[in-house]
Amino acid sequence: MSDIYRNHTDSGNRCPITSPVGTNVFVLRAVSPDATTDTIFHGVAPFWLAGMGRAVLVLLFPSIALLLPQLLY
């Protein structure tokens, strides 16, 4: 098993966590020993979902991403 799967686990689930979310979660866990990893992931989830929603919107409607460059040039 690769190191990314071994080092980034949460409650026994094996899944890769990408930067910057994964890095920030584990740094926050290190500096805040009172907070559990599950609590931190629950706090991060809405922001991660919002980011995924924005990515889906740009994929479905590419004109959103192209609007500003069209206005500037």
Q: State residue 59's pLDDT score.
A: 93
Q: What is the mean pLDDT of the segment spanning 33-43? A: 87
Euclidean distance between CA atoms 42 and 52, whole angstroms: 16
What tokens were used for 13? Answer: 């689930």
pLDDT range class, residue 3, cuts 50, 70, 90:
very low
More confident call, 62 vs 19: 62
What's the pTM?
Answer: 0.56
Contact call for residues 44 and 21 (beta carbons, < 8 A): yes
Q: Is the pLDDT of residue 56 over 90?
A: yes
Buried-state track 16-47, b at ≥16 Cβ within 10 A, e below 16: ebeeeebeebeeeeeeeeeeeeeebbeebeee
| Helices then strands, each counted (H, E), the chain | 4, 2
Those residues whose C-beta lies under 8 Å from the C-beta of residue 58, and which sit 6 or more positions away, are 64, 65
